[in-house]
Each structure stands twice: as structure tokens, then as C-alpha cells.
């Protein structure tokens, strides 16, 4: 572990609960954005919906992505 790692851990420990939650949410949002950006780079032809479905499949599994896809198609048909 580097000195920078230790310093960052200490800052997290010293932060209050609200600050830690805010940091965790920010980190999660960043990771999600990076994952979606990677899908877009790999598949520039994908629409926003296709990127969203690829993200769901990658992180939550094909079964859930297929069910979501069917539900979205059903809703579109209304």
C-alpha cells in the first residue's frame, strides 16, 4: 500500500457518514458512466437503449436483460 493509499483511507475514516455516502454515490456514478462509455466505444452503432440493455446484461445477466427488453418492447407497442 502506498502512502497515497494510506492518506486516502485516513481521509475516508475521518469523514462523517454523510460525506462517506456522498463519496460512495459519486464513485458509483463514475463507474457506471465509465462502463457505459466502454460499451459505446466498443459498439458505436448502438442506440442509447441498446447501450442500456448491454449494460444490464453485462452487470445483471442475460435473463434480466431479455426480460427488460421484452417489457420495453411491450410498452412501446401500447
Any idea where the domains of the chain sit in the sequence?
A: 3-76
Asked if pLDDT for residue 30 goes beyond 90, the answer is yes
For the stretch 8-27, pLDDT in tens is: 888 888 888 898 899 889 98
8 Å CB contact between 58 and 39: yes
8 Å CB contact between 65 and 53: yes
Distance (Å, whole) CA 72 – CA 44: 22
For the stretch 33-42, pLDDT in tens is: 999 999 999 9
Distance (Å, whole) CA 68 – CA 78: 16
pTM for the full predicted model: 0.74
Amino acid at each position: 500500500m502506498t502512502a497515497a493509499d494510506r492518506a486516502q483511507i485516513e481521509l475516508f475514516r475521518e469523514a462523517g457518514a454523510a460525506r462517506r455516502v456522498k463519496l460512495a454515490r459519486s464513485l458509483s456514478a463514475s463507474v457506471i458512466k465509465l462502463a457505459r462509455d466502454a460499451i459505446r466505444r466498443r459498439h458505436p452503432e448502438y442506440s442509447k437503449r441498446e447501450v442500456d440493455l448491454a449494460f444490464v446484461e453485462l452487470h445483471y445477466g442475460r435473463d434480466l436483460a431479455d426480460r427488460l427488453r421484452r417489457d420495453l418492447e411491450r410498452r412501446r407497442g401500447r
